[in-house]
Amino acid sequence: MKKSLVLAMAMALGVTASAYAANPFSDVPAGHWAYDSVAKLAAAGVVDGYADGAFDGDKLMTRYEMAQIVAKAMAKGADCDKLAAEFADELDNLGVRVAKLEKAADNVKITGQARFDYRSSDSAWSATANNFWKNAHASIRTRLWVNGQINDDWSYTGMLQSTQDLRDNAGNDDIDLKRVYVEGKLGGFDVMAGRWNEFFWNANILDNFVDGVRLTYGDDVKVGVIAGKVTDNGYVPMDGDFFAANVATKVGVVDVSANYFKADKAGYGDGDTVDEKEIYNINLGMDVAKDLHLSYEYMWGDKKYNKEVSKDGFVARLDYKGADASVAGSYGVHAQWFDQPINAFLSPTTDATQFTEDGGYEGWNLGVDYTLAKNIQLCVNYYDTDSKLNNLDDQVWYSELYFFF
């Protein structure tokens, strides 16, 4: 054992100039430069020496022997973070949990999701319109989430997304940093700032990226505001300044929320992109029986951007049970009915054909989610929609296979 190592271990245990116990090793006599330190280490049970009663301070140690010493020192409360990091593998083999290192490692977590999807459409409209999906679409989407704990109140989230388009063999793919935001508490407010994906309640009005700030206040009654900018998500033209406000509470057994949205250049109006689209909505949800949940959302626009269709619409949804990705064999079934003119939505979450250039859409959806194995989930949906104008219709099958890790 080298002089520097003995001193380092002694300092970690708070060794002082004089030992408090006799040195048990025959080859470390009184007056030796390491006598006090070795005595303290031996008394603390950190070093044992060899079977012949010798310390053998000049003998080279193996990494495994050194890891044993570090483990014993840690058990005594020594500050051995650097040594523990160096001998982490050996400590792991010894079955020693390095608590401080584990705590530091917990500050950053990486999780992921891979999705294989296929969408097919019957309508000629999908083949000819300026539509992201076209008649058939197949892709592989991979998401990696990075979550970092800044302190007890603040955290950081980033999300990398790669999408491989399988419609042809042109090698179409991309990798983007899709979300970057911090979350925390400021006074009595919950704060989110950066770029995140925002959706309200069932997301039948908005599901889009927002660059900005969100403030939420309250417990039994929650009030929230968002100010920032939105970007075109590939489905409905939408970009520019964005503002939203939300109030949510529970009245008896009914979840209730009311929302207000204001966005620049949001969607189509009489064939052209319009400015300052404003929408209001009310959401209601409740359990009507065991494992059966009913929700209803009514929305209306402040004016007719497309004068040939109404300003208001609705979405009703019935859910039975629900698939849990962590429980193999769990499942959920849902049915939806919707009537959404273009005046009453911004960028909704739906895989149905929205007929954005033909006044919006109405129709129904049936879907099932099933967990094939732990962290492997299959989702299948069927949509039947009609356009609000021009007598168009479409039937869509959309299947997704998720892998969570």
**pLDDT tens, position by position, 73-86:** 777 667 677 777 77
Give 335 or 56, the one with higher predicted confidence. 335
Residue 333 has a CB neighbour count (10 Å cut-off) of 16
**What is the second-level CATH architecture of the domain 107-404?**
Beta Barrel (2.40)
* 28 — pLDDT class (breaks 50, 70, 90): low
Residue 42 has a CB neighbour count (10 Å cut-off) of 20
- Has residue 102 got a pLDDT over 60? no
**pLDDT tens, position by position, 162-190:** 998 887 666 667 888 999 999 999 989 99
- Rounded CA-CA distance 354/393 in Å is 10
- Has residue 105 got a pLDDT over 80? no
Q: Using the structure block, give the residue that is written with the tokens 């900005």.
A: 212
What the block records as the tokens of 12 is 């970690």
- Domain boundaries, given as residue ranges, for the chain: 3-104, 107-404
**pLDDT tens, position by position, 212-242:** 999 999 999 999 999 999 876 555 566 678 8
Provide φ and ψ at 139, rounded to 5°. -155, 165
- Rounded CA-CA distance 262/43 in Å is 72
CA dihedral 342, 345, 346, 348 (to 10 degrees): -110
Give 60 or 293, the one with higher predicted confidence. 293
Q: What is the pLDDT, as a whole number, of residue 273?
A: 55
Instruction: Assess contact for 218 and 233: CB atoms under 8 A.
Output: no
